[in-house]
Amino acid sequence: MIRDSSSSAPSLGKDLLGLEPLSADQIRLVLDTAEPFKEVSERAIKKVPTLRGKTIVNLFYEASTRTRIAFEFAEKRLSADTVNIAAAGSSVEKGENLVDTARNLEAMRIDMVVIRHPASGAAAFLADRIPSNVINAGDGWHEHPTQGLLDLLTIRDKLGRIEGVRVCICGDILHSRVARSNIWGLLKLGAEVAVCGPRSLLPRGIEELGVHVFKHPEEAIEWADVLNVLRLQLERMQAGYIPSLDEYYRVYGITQKRLERAPRDVLILHPGPMNRGVEIDSMVADGPHSAILQQVTNGIAIRMAVLYLLSGGTPERANVAQAEDVPAGVRR
């Protein structure tokens, strides 16, 4: 959501709710700002003073390993004060609604909220009602913008560009907020985008977004430079989308045997958590063309960049902010 149009230079505005509302320049701004932040995590002392004095609440109503921990590391490495709240163990269990929870947090003078929620639109709903910056860490089937951004950064790192790259998103597109953020981000930056999966797991009319549809993974592998393999989101499915997990692996699994027929090296991405032996086999997930763990590493730099930009930082200042307060002996 863009709420700050006072300057001609791109800014992210108040909130990051998705990649659909962002321009290509805004997406590039985040990717470029993430570059200098990568280096902070490689230092002996992984800390810069950039967000000293800011208070950030991580409000997670759904399970998460990568996103929650990457946000927490990003916040701590930027010297913000952080509080983690899970629905379990909070007053949500006593029936408190989302806005009341957030208003009570605001009464404690917070600056930013990172929210993951099972309802599509929950982050936007909150952003409209509180003055703090809101970052969507995944809302239902809608968007997971920081995952989309870290996927873009990983493609750019590995292939040197995004424009013209052919990316096929494979698997359960219907239930996937990662797929939606990837589709918006990739199309805006000029990539060619395809999806591949059972018809029952593709949103109706997906072609209208400008993506190709492949019925069979063999066709996708022949076409693609990058496969972004998605987990079957069994927790969001009613019964009946696929006959069985074994059948799904047999027909749609991204296996070494299938990849051996590729006419070129294919970069393998997966947002995690993986179901090995369902959507991907271990030889592919752990193989030489997999960038799955690099995605996780890039997730910290992307979240540092988003937190920094939403707090009013500029890309030019990012380098300066990192250099301040770092003892000379620990600089690389």
Q: Minimum distance between the CB of residue 291 and ligand CP, rounded to whole angstroms?
A: 14
* Closer by beta carbon to ligand CP, 128 or else 235: 235
Cis? peptide before 315, omega within 30° of 0: no
Instruction: Note whether 166 and 192 are within 8 A (CB).
Output: yes
Q: Minimum distance between the CB of residue 207 and ligand CP, rounded to whole angstroms?
A: 26
Among 243, 273, 287, 312, which residue sits at the site for ligand CP (rule: CB under 6 A)? 273
* Closer by beta carbon to ligand CP, 48 or else 305: 305
* Closer by beta carbon to ligand CP, 144 or else 258: 144
Q: Minimum distance between the CB of residue 106 and ligand CP, rounded to whole angstroms?
A: 25
Instruction: Note whether 54 and 111 are within 8 A (CB).
Output: yes
List active site positions: 66-67, 94, 116, 144
Give residues 116-135 in contact with ligand CP (rule: CB under 6 A).
none
Q: Minimum distance between the CB of residue 231 and ligand CP, rounded to whole angstroms?
A: 9
Which segments within the chain are labelled E, that is strand? 55-60, 81-86, 112-117, 133-139, 166-170, 192-196, 212-214, 226-229, 267-269
- Pick from 178, 228, 173: which is nearest to 203 by CA? 173
- Report helix, strand or coil for 161: coil
Among 21, 32, 55, 64, which residue sits at the site for ligand CP (rule: CB under 6 A)? 64
Among 25, 45, 65, 216, which residue sits at the site for ligand CP (rule: CB under 6 A)? 65
Select the span of 37-45, 58-66, 163-171, 302-310 touching ligand CP (CB under 6 A).
58-66
Select the span of 28-36, 165-173, 237-245, 266-274 touching ligand CP (CB under 6 A).
266-274
Instruction: Note whether 274 and 280 are within 8 A (CB).
Output: yes
Rounded CA-CA distance 98/9 in Å is 34
Rounded CA-CA distance 86/139 in Å is 15
Residue 98: φ, ψ to 5°: -60, -45
Instruction: Note whether 318 and 36 are within 8 A (CB).
Output: yes
The contact mask relative to ligand CP for 80-119 (x = CB under 6 A, - = no) is ----------------------------------------
Instruction: Note whether 98 and 122 are within 8 A (CB).
Output: yes
Decide: is 67 part of the binding site for ligand CP (CB under 6 A).
yes
Select the span of 21-29, 125-133, 156-164, 267-275 touching ligand CP (CB under 6 A).
267-275
Decide: is 272 part of the binding site for ligand CP (CB under 6 A).
yes
Among 13, 18, 36, 138, which residue sits at the site for ligand CP (rule: CB under 6 A)? 138
How many residues form the binding site for ligand CP (CB under 6 A)?
10
Contacts of 46 (CB under 8 A, 6+ apart): 40, 77
Beta bridge partner(s), residue 195: 169, 213
The contact mask relative to ligand CP for 13-52 (x = CB under 6 A, - = no) is ----------------------------------------
Q: Minimum distance between the CB of residue 62 and ligand CP, rounded to whole angstroms?
A: 8
Which string of b and e fits 38-53 if b means at least 16 CB within 10 Å?
bebeeeeeebbebbee
| First-last CA distance in the chain | 37
Q: Minimum distance between the CB of residue 72 and ligand CP, rounded to whole angstroms?
A: 11
Decide: is 236 part of the binding site for ligand CP (CB under 6 A).
no
Interface residue list for ligand CP (CB under 6 A): 64-67, 138, 144, 147, 271-273
